Structure 1
Amino acid sequence: MVLDLLAPFAAQLQKPTLAFLFGGMALAALGSRLEIPEPVYRFIVVLLMLKIGLGAGISLREANPAEIALPALIAVVLGIAIVLLGRVTLARAPGIAPADGMATAGLFGAVSASTLAAAMVMLEADDMTYEAWVPALYPFMDIPALLTAIVLAQMARGGTVRIGAILADSARGAAVSALGLGLVLGIVARPDAVHAEFYEPLFRGLLTILMLVMGMEAWSRLAELRHSAHAHAAYALTAPLVHGALGFGLGYGAHLATGFSAGGVVLLAVMAASSSDISGPPTLRAAIPQANPAAYLGASTSLGTPMALLTIPLWMALAQVVM
């Protein structure tokens, strides 16, 4: 079983998605002046999330609501459970300010758009099928996680909790907005042709640029992480494995109960293992201003995201072994 797990993992490291991530880290380590402008990065994220939303919306037109209900409920439970787990571990660790711990747990409970996109490409490259509506579970995990972290942080300070404002701010985030728009258009319009002819061909190429940017940013933020407590580093290295295993286990339960696909289980595990890189940081910066961005962004971007990406082959191999 160990060999069955290691062989696909090693093979995935050579494929473009992870290779560009490591390439970006290498460039940053060597002091390269290569830069991808921030507006270009944001534009790529919007295109990727529109593509994911359109694909999910098109599939939801014909989907059975009963098939979606259990995975959607699991996504909500995972987002909340991951934050609660962070509250009793990282937020209570010696030397960690509670606000920093809750902000970090909120990011790790939310979802990374780029990690989700990378997992989709890797699944398709290995012909591992999944229900096309699975990426639409993104906001079911993302928003409850951010909401839980913000509410707990504000309760700890004795402040007023405005759930409606938090929900509205989270929903207005770039990644969630683009995904939601694509989802609605996929359901009510007929964007099948533009999805197939424009978004689909661009998807893999744009993702490699995104991975390159994330690799460079991950390396550059390592300096920020050195200034925060070592508990953040330990949490960032272990959380993707723990959270992903939790997601895989609950997804496997859905597989046994409803026939949820192996690829769907993998994507659920990946979403649980990832940490938000688009919608989460600005939301938490505004809602938990007392938290130190160097702590939660450093933990998420420099260690959490690369670790989550590296676990994708693990969940794929595990699904092939047990399912």
Structure 2
Amino acid sequence: MDSMALQTFTSPVVLFFLLGLLAAFARSDLAIPEALAKGMSLYLMAAIGLKGGVAVSKSGFDATVAAALGAGIAAGFLIPIVAFWLLRGFGRLDRINAGAVAAHYGSISVVTFVTAVEILEFQGNPAGGYMVAVMATMESPAILAGLLLARGFGGQDGQGLKSMLHEVFFNSSVVLLLGAFAIGLLGGEAGFADVSPFFEAGFKGVLCLFLLDMGLIAARRIMDSRAVTWRLATIAIILPLVNGFAGVALGTFVGLDAGSSAALGVLCASASYIAAPAAMRLALPEADPGIYLTMSLSITFPFNVLVNIGLISAFASMIAPGAGVLP
């Protein structure tokens, strides 16, 4: 486990994220232009979707893939319920804000997943390509569950519900991930060969720069925010910790290998700060973004990248079949 933790902290993507945190806390003027950051985000989602589709085209759709999808969808529905109960009780949030935050913690962070995939490959324990499809399917159930917890079935008029559902199912993350996954699935390894120089060679470098930007944003939001209490900050650490280990256990139970179980654990541990905030702005405009964004982006995201991915990977290597053996 010590070797795995050391590998996590010596991964360049984690070190670039740490550099961003330190630069922001030191009040450096280092910044990534917003247009460039958005372009890098699109590149990363397209690359991970393509590679996932190619991997599934090689392995085929079987019972393992179906089990992983079922586990991901179930987790997407169940995690917001647990989060909502904790946020209402220990966190002392009102129903609307508790539902909004719960949706974020049931949903997923694409960047956390991509970072984890890179670290797992760095450790020699890669996740199955089909986990990209699992990631894409977890987003919508969580947002719907959070909305229902916050307002119930009667909380939206027809037009508002239509707009919210459109945002949930057709937001940029879901469309690009599933679209790129389908392209990789249809094109296969031969089709991917034509574009692999672009999507393979630059992937790690772009991810490092993107994590640098995320470190800057997370640290600056922490310094500026006053909306999150110590109770909510505690929840923002406890939820990803418990959800991550539960996700690994669930993956192991349904028969996933160690790398894929770790990836499922990371998905369960992550919290959305792109798709879920966009959906909540439409569906729950009265919810406080200062709460759900600070918790997901400024507390949970750094905790996952710096600490929890390593813990989840180590736990998966202990209990899941086919675990990689570290030096």
TM-score (structure 1 length as normaliser) = 0.91
Residue 283 of structure 1 and its aligned partner are, at CA, apart by: 1.4
Aligned match for 1:171, one of 164, 169, 172? 169
Residues 89-137 of structure 1 deviation map (CA, whole Å, 9 limit, x = unaligned): 1034464222111111111111111111101111111111332121221
Aligned match for 1:302, one of 298, 303, 316? 298
Partner residue, 1:220: 220
2:110 aligned partner, one-letter code: A
Aligned pairs for 1:1-323 (under 5 A) are 5-62=1-58, 63-93=60-90, 95-155=92-152, 158-160=155-157, 165-189=163-187, 191-255=191-255, 260-309=256-305, 310-323=307-320
Residue 195 of structure 1 and its aligned partner are, at CA, apart by: 4.2
Change (3 A) 1:159 1:207: same
2:251 aligned partner, one-letter code: G
Tell me how far apart the structure 2 counterparts of residues 148 and 106 of structure 1 sit (CA, whole Å).
7
User: Which stretch of structure 1 is more off in the superposition, 27-36 or 122-131?
Assistant: 122-131
Residue 165 of structure 1 and its aligned partner are, at CA, apart by: 4.3
User: Which stretch of structure 1 is more off in the superposition, 211-220 or 195-204?
Assistant: 195-204
Tell me how far apart the structure 1 counterparts of residues 42 and 205 of structure 2 sit (CA, whole Å).
14
Structure 2 gaps, min length 5: 321-327
Tell me how far apart the structure 2 counterparts of residues 64 and 29 of structure 1 sit (CA, whole Å).
46
CA contact (8 A) 1:90 1:96 kept: yes
Tell me how far apart the structure 1 counterparts of residues 88 and 124 of structure 2 sit (CA, whole Å).
40
Structure 1 gaps, min length 5: none
CA contact (8 A) 2:132 2:181 kept: no
Tell me how far apart the structure 2 counterparts of residues 73 and 308 of structure 1 sit (CA, whole Å).
24
CA contact (8 A) 1:96 1:229 kept: no
1:49 aligned partner, one-letter code: M
Tell me how far apart the structure 1 counterparts of residues 91 and 257 of structure 2 sit (CA, whole Å).
41
User: Which stretch of structure 1 is more off in the superposition, 193-202 or 18-27?
Assistant: 193-202
Tell me how far apart the structure 1 counterparts of residues 155 and 104 of structure 2 sit (CA, whole Å).
22
Tell me how far apart the structure 2 counterparts of residues 32 and 147 of structure 1 sit (CA, whole Å).
40
Tell me how far apart the structure 2 counterparts of residues 94 and 179 of structure 1 sit (CA, whole Å).
33
2:167 aligned partner, one-letter code: D
SS at structure 2 position matched to 1:221: helix
CA contact (8 A) 1:174 1:278 kept: no
Residue 154 of structure 1 and its aligned partner are, at CA, apart by: 2.4
1:238 aligned partner, one-letter code: I
Tell me the matched-pair count.
315
Residue 238 of structure 1 and its aligned partner are, at CA, apart by: 1.0
CA contact (8 A) 1:225 1:299 kept: no
CA contact (8 A) 1:91 1:99 kept: no
Tell me how far apart the structure 2 counterparts of residues 212 and 249 of structure 1 sit (CA, whole Å).
31
1:24 aligned partner, one-letter code: G
Residue 196 of structure 1 and its aligned partner are, at CA, apart by: 2.2
Residues 62-84 of structure 1 deviation map (CA, whole Å, 9 limit, x = unaligned): 41332211110100111111100
CA contact (8 A) 1:91 1:100 kept: no
1:247 aligned partner, one-letter code: G
Tell me how far apart the structure 2 counterparts of residues 96 and 157 of structure 1 sit (CA, whole Å).
21
Change (3 A) 1:184 1:104: same
Identity of aligned residues (%): 27
1:170 aligned partner, one-letter code: V
Residues 187-208 of structure 1 deviation map (CA, whole Å, 9 limit, x = unaligned): 2335311442110111111111
